[in-house]
Amino acid sequence: MSNTRKLTIISILFLLTALCAVILFAIQSNNQTTPTTSTSSADSVSNLSPDKLIIGSPGAKVTIVEYADFKCPQCGKFHQTSGQQIRQEYIDSGQANIEFRAYPFIGPDSARALRGAYCANELGAFTDYHDDVFDYMWENYYKNGDFKVEIEDILTEGVLTDIASRAGADKAKFSSCIATEDKNKLIDRDLEQSTKDSVEGTPTFIIGDQKIVGPLPFNNFKTLIDINLR
Amino acid sequence: MKLSLKTKLKIIIDAKLYVFRRPAYWLIFFLSAFFIMGFIVWSLNLDLLKYILFDSPLTIWGKIEFFLNGYGSLLSSFESIQAVAIVIFSLLFGVNVSMLIYSARFLSSADNKEQKTGKKQKIPKKSGAVALGSAVVGGGCIACGTSLLAPIFTTLGITSIGLVRNIGTIFLTLGSILTLYSIYKLSIIIVNIKARS
């Protein structure tokens, strides 16, 4: 056997070993996290109710649970890229819906913006509010690489009220709602659920009983949604 | 004896010329770089990858396509600087593995000669392993607040997302520097082997 052939065999064996290590690691980590994830997603599909933030048809066959923070740049990036494609292909056609869950952890205004989401939902303007808040952050800051605003208090009550008003919510009712802390219990509920789902950052998605961390390309989402539509 | 940067670069280039003269080492380089890049981009979604590869009803091609699509997250998930850092690390890792295999191949015969002269050379395994660990941790900082370091940060009470993002790039850079060090050490071994043969 020539040296080159030996070398090729050795290198293939090395790479196969590396691949096995990756797979073993995947199996090991799967054993640690899967049970909570699958329990939660079952709840997500069966318990759709008015106090949940739903984008799309509530009766859609597939529910995409999204844990997000309006201040998170990666969530904004998802909204501008894969999120748009998912909306066009699956949400608008009624095949899937998105259940948006609050995961405030970035800036002092994260919880306020998410409280605003529940207020807008109550006033029938959640979807547009959701899109407009993400667009506001993206167009004014993150698109230009201005990430220092993450920890600044920029989504003030005034800014959020303007956005909600443009989204179709009654300005006075929204303003009054966001000023109180009534909706915080819903955010607490989402956070409790996130613990069960082993969420450690945003955006995190749950489709069926699988978890996606980070804004993966649209085709990865598409594959998973298609599997759940079968 | 302290070597100048120019001399060090010359040693690295000479060693690479020896190694990459053979096509098999190009193959090792591309495969290693490809797989390590895949490992980094999938590091936070290994459960999902495991499900798709082993439990999903997809065809073989569908599974391969899903895996390859993950490489697109270099554009969709990582900030450009982090994506560049991952690509640089993966390429350096590929070079390192090629040189490691090349030098390991000649080491046993070289060892015999060195043992006679009392100067035994060792392959720098530690720097390579630490470099890989650093890069995986760095690559893990894809999503906001998400990294393989998140539990440690939580324990320490560190919540600044800006710090998490920077740490991702810092670890990837550290990984690349350690890999460069490993490549330099391997280059010395290879040049020595060639000088004696």
CB contact under 8 A, A147 and B162: yes
Place of tokens 């490549």: B183
Q: What is the structure's pLDDT at B165?
A: 60
pLDDT digit string (tens) for chain B, length 197 residues: 667 777 777 877 877 777 788 888 899 999 989 988 898 888 889 999 999 999 999 999 999 999 999 998 887 767 778 788 888 888 988 888 888 888 877 766 655 555 555 555 566 666 556 666 655 665 555 445 554 555 555 555 544 455 556 677 777 788 888 888 888 888 888 888 777 76
CB contact under 8 A, B49 and A19: no
Instruction: List, for residues A93-112, the tens digit of each pLDDT value.
Output: 999 999 999 999 887 799 99
CB-based contact A82:A38 (threshold 8 Å): no
* CA distance linking residue B32 with residue B86, whole number of Å: 13
Q: What is the structure's pLDDT at A29?
A: 46
Q: What is the structure's pLDDT at B80?
A: 75
**Which chain B residue shows the shortest CA-CA distance from A71?**
B144
- Amino acid identity of residue A30, one-letter, is N
**Which chain A residue shows the shortest CA-CA distance from B100?**
A11
Indicate the average pLDDT of chain A: 83
Global pTM reads 0.75
**Structure-token pair, residue A10:** 């050795």
Q: What is the 3-state secondary structure (H, E, C) of chain A?
A: CCHHHHHHHHHHHHHHHHHHHHHHHHHHHHHHHHHHHHHHHHHHHHCCCCCCEEECCCCCCEEEEEEECCCCHHHHHHHHCHHHHHHHHHHCCCCEEEEEEECCCCCCCHHHHHHHHHHHHHCCCHHHHHHHHHHHHHHHCHHHCCCHHHHCCCCCHHHHHHHHHHCCCCHHHHHHHHHCCCCHHHHHHHHHHHHHCCCCCECEEEECCEEEECCCCHHHHHHHHHHHHC
Q: What is the structure's pLDDT at A27?
A: 47
ipTM of this predicted complex? 0.74
Determine the CATH number of domain A46-229: 3.40.30.10
Q: What is the structure's pLDDT at B173?
A: 82
| Omega before A108 within 30 of 0, i.e. cis | no
Residue A170 Cα, gap to closest chain B Cα (Å)? 32
Q: What is the structure's pLDDT at A135?
A: 96
CB contact under 8 A, A214 and B77: yes
Phi/psi zone of residue A70: left (φ > 0), alpha (ψ -120 to 50 degrees), beta? alpha
Q: What is the structure's pLDDT at A42?
A: 36
Place of tokens 């080491």: B107
Q: What is the structure's pLDDT at A3?
A: 56
Q: Which residues of chain A have pLDDT under 70?
A: 1-50
CB contact under 8 A, A203 and B22: no
CB contacts under 8 A, B 129-148 vs A, are 142-147
